[in-house]
Chain A
Amino acid sequence: METPLTGNIRPDREPPSLKEYEKSGGYRALARVVSGLAPAEVTAIVKDSTLMGRGGAGFPTGLKWSFVPMGVDAPPGPRYLVANADEMEPGTFKDRVLMEGDPHQLVEGMIISAYAIQATTAFIFLRADYDLAEKRLKRAVAEAYEAGYLGKNIMRSAYSLEMYVHVSAGRYICGEETALLNSLEGKRAIPRARPPFPQVSGLFGKPTVVDNVETLCNVPHILANGAEWYKSLSLTAIGGTKMYGVSGRVNRPGWWELPMGTTVREIVEVHAGGMRPGYALRGLLPGGASTDFLVEQHLDTPMDFTSIPKVGSRMGTGTMIILDGKTCPVAFVLNLLKFFAHESCGWCTPCREGLPWVARIVKAIEEGQGEARDLSVLEEHCVALAPGRTFCALAPGAVEPLQSALKYFREDFERHIKERGCPWRAA
């Protein structure tokens, strides 16, 4: 089984030096790109590879790049590539691994991607609390400059690129690409409406591509080994490997780079070692806190961008959170809702006002203050906070676990209300 993304990552996560990275084949893809490929060719290869955005939305990466106006259509002035390294989705810990464990991989992926859109400047928008990743990335960027992979005339080609590590001041919504751009411009982190899309009018009003860290880490390998190789890594139609992870009451919580389309069951039962003794699996969030619950019956679903939606959820970030039988699903959902309500940017009414209300209702239920009519208010919110009704995807994501919890664990909500308290707390 090939693990291109994590091949360099050591158990202690001590990253390879530039030398070691080069020795493992690092920066060879870049050399190939800047010496022999036109930007459009790079984009075409990435398109062919079927690489899809690993931040959670699963948008085809090459297609996204192709929206950047090039050539005669290109507006004058700079253009930007931004690595979305604001990993803050609850239950998600994959980008940290990649950045701490192999920072040059990200840097190389960014340079190639930037080349494809002819970006002049690249930013790594890094989460505030990732201090170790910050140190390692900054070192890697400095080394890359020194080695001529960054700066003027990269590897003696005509292409030049500046790269900076920008550390966020900390807000979940910065993970939303347009809020990220506002934040990078020094503004409040409030999402933007689309159109115009960032590829046309993004950072500082210039064409900009924002890609997730894991997505960008795939790029050097695709360019080094080709689209066909990349597709062959996968078990499904969408190419590549995927960083999967599991947290919760399993025997071996952790992360694994596996072929795209590995089933939920294999991830949980084989790689995570199954549930701990005494704990039963009641459900799981497949890809971070803003995805719908899956339950036992869905375990044989392949974890990919097309299969998971068929069973009513999203692959999201691919890092699962397991709900076990000894954990109260109402309190579980409450924990998520409190987080989302707090992280609402305050721009649009449904999210700003709706989420805190929902959180208070769930809190009341959990604390034994629930009322029968509460469930219908919650259900209404699952519809009222659907995509298109809110300004961005935060609130729709926030109600995904709620709506599926109301579906799969409704009796637990009802019991809380009827028994005027949390059965798990009583136990």
Chain B
Amino acid sequence: MPLEGRVTTIYIDNLPYGVKDGQNLLQASLTLGFNLPYFCWHPALHSVGACRQCAVKVFKDESDTRGRLAMGCMTPATEGTRLSIEDPEAKAFRAGVIEWLMLNHPHDCPICDEGGECHLQDMTVMSGHNYRRSRFRKRTHLNQNLGPFLNHEMNRCIQCYRCVRFYRDYSGGRDFNVFASHDSVYFGRYEDGALESPFSGNLVEVCPTGVFTDKPFKEHPTRKWDLQTAPSVCTGCSLGCNIIVAERYGEVRRVLNRYNADVNRYFLCDRGRYGFDFVNSQRRLRLPLVDGRELVPEGSATQALSATEGGSPRPAPASSEAKGAVVRRAVARARDILHGSRRAIGIGSPRASVESNYALRSLVGPDNFCDGMTSGEHRLVGMMKDIVASGPVRSLSLAEVERADVVLVLGEDVVNTAPLLDLALRQAVRTRPEAVAEQLLRIPLWDDRAKREATQGKQGPLFVATPYPVSIDDIAVKSYRLSPDDIARLAQAVAYAIDPEGIAPLVGAADPLHVVAETIGGSLGLAARPLVIAGASLGSEAILRAAANVATALAKAGKKDAGLFLVAPEANSMGSALLGGMSLDEALEAVRTGGADTVVVVENDLTSRLKEASFRALFDSTKHSIVLDFFRNRTTELAEIVLPVATFAESSGTFVNNEGRAQRFFEVVNPDEIVSASWKWLGLLSGRGTGEEIAWDTLDDIIARISEDLPALAAIGSAAPGARDVPQVHRVPRDSHRVSGRTANVASLTVHEPPPPRDLDTPLSYSMEGSPRGRIPSSLIARIWAPRWNSVQALTRFQEEVGGPLKGGDPGALLFGPASDRTRAYFDGVPEAFAPDPRRPLAVAIRHVFGSEPLSALSRSVSERIPSRYVGITPDAARSLAVADGERVEVTVRDLRMELPVRIMAGLAEGLCALPEGLPDMPYVGLPAPAGILKRTAP
């Protein structure tokens, strides 16, 4: 019987409370809303009993008046447990712990980056310690340069060990540790250098004080209460991690985690945390372009296009009227084009919102709408949608992945295609050994060190089949290095191992893959919650089909908790698939032969999806082109009209993640009156006639239209309340109630307080006034703060129970129902065994967490971590080419010829080479494709 689950009664300061049996007393107290301070305990990292801050008095029974001090985090709540938080001795001890921690902690709160959102600050105030009795000098440390993401200030350290536990134990990083001992323990790297883990940024939130702080944020120091914040969704990959975006002076300053018990829970990847900076890019478009010339509002000829520097206010803005005139001119011109065109093709984007894609679709008509994906991507994503939508195995949430007990990963290099999935799998592999320890040794799941000491790093079964070594090899029981086709064949053989009646063996039943598949199939067959992971990154439909077959076989074998997790290419790929539309290749065809003379492109730099010739041809063969985008890029260069659009930070809308979860993001930067969401521009363009009437005005309008129009997307409305659902007085404030200097911010321009910007699209306000904290729906949580809890640790006040769902349920709306009992037929079409051709290796795509996603690649901090392009070859190939690591070779793929340095990749499957896809210096290739590699002859 599991230790947790049953409700039991405990007594806190003599009052009875119902709590979950087996929880520890700290968890229980926090869930009940008590202010019990702590440091080393973390809801995801659990208890280790190091800091001794959460001491309470525990009594044997009602008659025990003396009691004894015990650590809340290390003491299980059992029926009748009696504890006192208010006991004078316990309080004195807790104040004493702070006094100890303050012996060496610098009194630099006013200039500390953490000040105002520092857990140590909060706990110090909470504990009541306020007078320094020690007259001795403090110990000091040297700091390290840890790369572009984190500052390091070791003197502030209170040795809670959270950093090292997160970095090493939880996320598997190895280039970080604790050194030395007694009161000189040091947390850092062996030597200066960027932290390698793509999860390092979480230390900002994990560290309870200012040792690890956000480095890009420090460029413009701002207190938490002066940041304008809004709930949002990460655009970095298809997982849709929930984030809180923070603004100051019109720029996005930082991204923090936004807890969602079903998705990212407590953590983000560094791409997600630091990738936002593209919003502030110097390449942003701020004005419409007509025939390559900016439409400049009257009276602001000198207005800088770029973002401001150093946090100073922008130059004097033009008047609203002047801006309105610019918008009207651009819209009028675009409308003229559209009215005069024979046929306009709309090219959307899988990274644009559902609303923007829908707006385009409705502007050009469903028959003329292209989802903006290459035909390969279009087919893969469509297939994913079908597999997920039609069952029989459910698409798991990221949080459910953490609970899977046997996992098969097919083709995905998860840390580089869906980074947080790597983190989830690292938790999943602990599930089974820890369950055993709980059962045999009665070790509660929160007793982190006892668990790890008992399980000794033992890991549950995880099988990996990829073309090249991947991050999760270190947690895999077995990794297989195979070509994409052979990965599909292996998966098919696994399906056969599970359901030999329903599935045919591979051609040549003696295929050695069957032996491997026996092991994997056997392990999956013993699982309670088996999980199959696949995705689009190798461009192989065969892998997706075979993965679906494994899942179906598991369902047929009665595994009702079996799960599938399919990684999609972009933040809204699944939304685009649900919207429907043609692929880019079909759009090209429509232009070439279908009589289309106009093209409208939305948030899609087509050079990243088209070969140069096709890209040119598209613009050469259309008469008119309208492009809506954030940046100047090759696509905007060729456009007749360019409309500057808002990023996720300046607009609101909906993304559908890989699981089929619709999630709303909200604007946090008030767009000025020119830059606006694509769906807003497109609404203006779609107005009929010459008047001002438009198809939709607000987000509520367009969502209502989508819900009526498209049943598959009908539920997106319930992803979050609309503006209309929340009365003005209950709007959620984007500003904190402590926001300072609202008038001072613009004092260089005017001493009058400008009216707060109006926001008709969302239930949020650009103000400090609005809904009391307790009444905020979970999807609208703009800030993690509670009285006495200024740091992100305030989160427990938003949760139904510590580590559990947010009050009122977690945000987002699942667009696919729960698994039905429909038994889908198996997919056919098993590829033939891959035949390596040493002279023409098959080039497969390899991705990089920093660099392969084009928006985050524009972030200044992220760009420091982007590798330059290369070709990965096998050691055998290197030998036969007689090239050394780093030597340049000539690579020919399709009709593209590149000179690239060689990276010799031990473990790359025979007959393959790897090309990094999406890196800023890498052109679109269209992988997989056979490649020719020649050693460069000396010049």
Report A's interface with B, CB cutoff 8 A. Answer: 75, 171, 182, 188, 192-193, 195-196, 200-201, 204-205, 341-350, 352-354, 356-357, 360, 371, 373, 377, 380, 384, 388-391
Contact = CB atoms under 8 A, between A and B. Distances in A.
A345 B183 CA distance: 8
A201 B443 CA distance: 10
Given A345-B181, A347-B161, 11 more contacts: A182-B453, A344-B181, A346-B159, A346-B181, A346-B184, A348-B49, A350-B97, A352-B100, A353-B101, A353-B103, A380-B96
Contacts of A360: 134, 136
A345 B182 CA distance: 5
8 contacts: A195-B443, A201-B453, A201-B454, A346-B178, A348-B49, A349-B97, A352-B185, A371-B135
B159 A201 contact: no
Nearest to A194: B450
B261 interface: no
Contact of A352 (B182, B447, B449): B182
Interface in B415-448: 437, 440-443, 447
A192 B449 contact: yes
A342 B50 contact: no
Contact of B101 (A188, A343, A349, A356): A349
A346 B49 CA distance: 13
Contacts of A192: 449-450, 453
Interface in B156-211: 158-159, 161, 178, 180-185
Interface stretch (B67-75, B286-294, B300-308): B67-75
Contacts of A349: 50-53, 97, 100-101, 158-159
A219 B51 CA distance: 40
Interface string B277-313: 0000000000000000000000000000000000000
Given A196-B443, A201-B441, A201-B443, A377 B133 contact: yes
Contacts, number: 106
A171 B447 contact: no
A415 to B, nearest CB: 21
Contacts of A373: 133
A410 B750 CA distance: 70
A357 B97 CA distance: 13
A390 B133 CA distance: 21
B104 interface: yes
B456 interface: yes
Interface string B74-103: 100000000000000000010011001101
A194 to B, nearest CB: 9
B93 A356 contact: no
A388 B158 CA distance: 21
B387 interface: no
A388 B69 contact: yes
Contact of A195 (B49, B103, B450): B450
Contacts of B181: 171, 188, 344-346
A279 B440 CA distance: 59
B582 interface: no
B100 A350 contact: yes
Contacts of B134: 357, 360
B183 A341 contact: yes
- Of B55, B96, B97, B442, most buried by chain A (CB within 10 Å of CB) is B96
A315 to B, nearest CB: 24
Contacts of A357: 100, 103, 134, 136
Given A195-B442, A204-B456, A354 B74 contact: no
B633 interface: no
User: Which 8 A-B residue pairs are closest in the complex by CB-CB distance?
Assistant: A353-B100, A346-B185, A344-B182, A201-B454, A205-B456, A205-B454, A346-B181, A360-B136
Contacts of B447: 193
A380 B99 CA distance: 12
Nearest to A178: B453
Nearest to B137: A360
A408 B441 CA distance: 46
Given A352-B159, A357-B100, A357-B136, A193 B49 contact: yes
Interface residues on B, range: 35 or more
Nearest to A181: B453
B455 interface: yes
- Of A182, A344, A348, A380, most buried by chain B (CB within 10 Å of CB) is A348
A342 B103 CA distance: 16
A421 to B, nearest CB: 18
B449 A388 contact: no
Nearest to B180: A346
Contacts of B442: 195-196
Interface string B449-483: 11001111000000000000000000000000000
A384 B92 CA distance: 9
Contacts of A391: 49-50, 52
Contacts of B52: 348-350, 389-391
A54 B785 CA distance: 54
Contacts of B180: 346
A353 B104 contact: yes
Contacts of B136: 357, 360
B431 to A, nearest CB: 17
Interface in B40-78: 49-53, 55, 68-70, 74
B71 to A, nearest CB: 9
A350 B103 CA distance: 11
Nearest to A386: B69
Contacts of A171: 181
B182 A354 contact: no
- Of B136, B183, B442, B443, most buried by chain A (CB within 10 Å of CB) is B183
A192 B450 CA distance: 7
A342 B181 CA distance: 8
B51 A348 contact: yes
B157 to A, nearest CB: 11
A190 B713 CA distance: 55
Contact of B74 (A193, A377, A389): A193
Given A356-B183, A373-B133, A389-B52, A196 B441 contact: yes
Contacts of A352: 100, 159, 182-183, 185
A353 B183 contact: yes
B848 to A, nearest CB: 33
Nearest to B139: A356
Nearest to A363: B136
B454 A196 contact: yes
Contacts of B455: 205
A360 B139 CA distance: 13
A174 to B, nearest CB: 12
Contacts of B178: 188, 346
B22 to A, nearest CB: 14
B167 to A, nearest CB: 15
A296 to B, nearest CB: 33
A328 B178 CA distance: 38
Contacts of A75: 440
B183 A389 contact: no
Contacts of B456: 204-205
A182 B452 CA distance: 12
Nearest to A196: B441
Nearest to A381: B96
Nearest to B134: A357
A347 B96 contact: no
Nearest to B136: A360
A155 to B, nearest CB: 33
Nearest to A343: B182
B218 to A, nearest CB: 28
B450 A347 contact: no
A196 B437 CA distance: 10
B182 A348 contact: no
- Of B103, B447, B455, most buried by chain A (CB within 10 Å of CB) is B103
- Of A75, A201, A341, A353, most buried by chain B (CB within 10 Å of CB) is A353
A23 B6 CA distance: 64
A342 B50 CA distance: 18
Interface in B204-252: none
A321 B239 CA distance: 66
